[in-house]
Amino acid sequence: MLRKLLPDGMTSLRKAVSNPRAAIDQAIADSPIPQARDFWDGLIELEEWWPLLIPVLLWVLWRTYQRERTTLGVLRDQS
């Protein structure tokens, strides 16, 4: 029953990806959105900075979240 729903060329499951980064690179290269490719290239160039950038970004995310929660709490109390 399910074979009728699959395209003709898809008779078996694909093999597992051995290199995830290569698979992501290939998926982005085939993408019609060139901005995604530029973003990925920039991200890879900053790979050495990830141990510093990730904690800083998480800290900024947490502070922004807390600030917005506080603002919503104040607005809720005023109404």
77 C-beta neighbours (distance < 10 Å), count: 7
Q: Supply 22's token pair.
A: 């290569």
7 C-beta neighbours (distance < 10 Å), count: 6
Measured at the CA of 19, the angle between CA 36 and CA 43, to 5 degrees, comes to 30
Residue 49 belongs to some domain of the structure? yes
Would you say residue 68 has pLDDT above 80?
A: yes
Domain count, the chain: 1
Residues 21, 36: Cα–Cα separation, whole Å: 15
Residue 24 belongs to some domain of the structure? yes
Would you say residue 1 has pLDDT above 90?
A: no
Model confidence pTM above 0.85: no
Q: Which domain holds residue 60?
A: 20-78
